[in-house]
Structure 1
């Protein structure tokens, strides 16, 4: 196995990161495309059917022209799995950042990362303590990119419930989407984090967006159905399809608390994983 500071390995990490960003920005995952096609087939509202058709045409054009799916190319959220025996280092993190910088220039991507106060743009989508790189152990060395746009992120939410209020979680998720309306470019995917701590619930909610959306538990399906009953519809113009899926992740929490976070994702649910060959 290559050593973590090996220049050849660092170059592989940079290349894999750039490819993962490119794939995520251009190619929508197959499970998401399949759910959008199913939504088009069962949609009963004419304007909603047209919007879903437009979305699917947009997806095809992006693949054909090798251009990003959306003008908001987001901020890249990065997830890394490391095989046993490999140690995460600052050099490896820097290699990933270079990959993001390269992708920003070569694809190209809209530079979105700015200072929260001065609004000065880094022009590279890196720097300024960008979203942390999430690292965990795994069977393989992989880099997963989840580009997250602002439209859906801005209407996400978190609350600290009382433990006795657990039966109100579905209502909170539905109310979050009701307040969001058409702003997050529905149909959406709702990542829900339950448990952990204040920050941990938000992390769980975003990680839930990495899961395939063609399978839901009965609890997830129940919430999804209730969201669709809102009638917000594709792009907020009304219709049967407001939510493609609800995905939930949980973690243990303090006996006196019940954190719940909802991370909304627009129809352009971009994610891609590339393996680093060792």
Structure 2
């Protein structure tokens, strides 16, 4: 028996349910370590509330945040994967099912007629980004992103000669400008690309990388750490109450650019970085590749 569309619906549904209710281990670990290091009483109280929220959501299998966000899927689809259009259809159906079951709040609104679709689907929603790669498997990343964390999304079309100067100042200016709006501590995704659309897409995709994972290029990795330290020296802190943890990490990606362009994309998560990843095989079997905190009988933990 080969894979069916219902196999995919089941896999995608479980990814959505997991992402909505159970924080990834890397994010939980970073928040926990931040709480233990924090010396500002107000900031520590905020982090304590965040950790309690995470535990309640995981224990009761309810959404981590009331704003369950906009659903995004990123596919790396093997050229020999048997269900291509089926994967797109399955993603939409899984979103509908997860919304009906209460794991996602209906957030898809027609901008012209102001009508909510009621099931998180509509024109281009869920957003599905597909890359065709070698092989017969389907690698999937799911991310749901709240409205507050979308506000800081910033595009800077820099003159190439000022590119890296604008990148550094642009990241800091964005964090300062939007302050508590994206619900820090955040992950900051940054990219350099040939065009505006490429830059913002790569910046958003970079939020899928685990906290603490550095870019394999040592120069880019160094810049990630430099920006992370600079952000955390701002003193904004959790929810803007001050303290030393404004960002959990900075992730940088890039594409080759046109000689006359230097597009910079900047995107943030909120503290509730809700993502999950999986690989689906052509025979219908699949496994989750992201690790999440789990209920142990006395609470949720790594």
Partners in 2 of 1:95 and 1:215 — Cα distance? Answer: 31
Partners in 1 of 2:37 and 2:249 — Cα distance? Answer: 15
* Cα RMSD for the two superposed structures: 1.6
Q: Is the 8 A contact 2:95 2:126 kept in 1?
A: no
Q: TM-score, normalised by structure 2?
A: 0.86
Q: Is the 8 A contact 1:81 1:138 kept in 2?
A: no
Deviation track 1:198-219 (CA, whole Å, cap 9, x = no partner) reads 1000000000000011233221
1:185 to 161, 183, 186: 183
Q: Is the 8 A contact 2:71 2:127 kept in 1?
A: no
1:43 to 38, 42, 47: 38
Q: Pairwise mapping of residues 99-114 of structure 1 onto structure 2 (< 5 A)?
A: 99-114=94-109
Partners in 2 of 1:250 and 1:52 — Cα distance? Answer: 32
State the shift of 1:125 in Å: 0.4
User: Alpha carbons of 1:53 and 1:116: their partners in 2 closer, same or farther (altered >3 Å)?
Assistant: same
Match of 1:253, SS?
A: coil
Deviation track 1:145-187 (CA, whole Å, cap 9, x = no partner) reads 1001110101221110010112311111010010010111001
Match of 2:288 in 1: none
Match of 2:238 in 1: 234
Farther-moved stretch of structure 1 (146-155 vs 88-97): 88-97
Partners in 2 of 1:220 and 1:138 — Cα distance? Answer: 30
Q: Is the 8 A contact 1:159 1:261 kept in 2?
A: yes
Q: Pairwise mapping of residues 77-156 of structure 1 onto structure 2 (< 5 A)?
A: 77-86=72-81, 89-136=84-131, 137=133, 140-156=137-153
Matched, 1:221 2:200: no
User: Alpha carbons of 1:157 and 1:88: their partners in 2 closer, same or farther (altered >3 Å)?
Assistant: farther
Match of 1:201 in 2: 199
Matched, 1:71 2:66: yes
Give the unaligned 5+ runs of structure 2: 215-220, 284-302
Match of 1:162 in 2: 159
Give the unaligned 5+ runs of structure 1: 3-7
Q: TM-score, normalised by structure 1?
A: 0.94
Match of 2:255, SS?
A: strand
Match of 1:121, SS?
A: coil
How many residue pairs are counted as aligned between the two chains? 273
State the shift of 1:87 in Å: 5.7
Q: Is the 8 A contact 1:16 1:275 kept in 2?
A: no
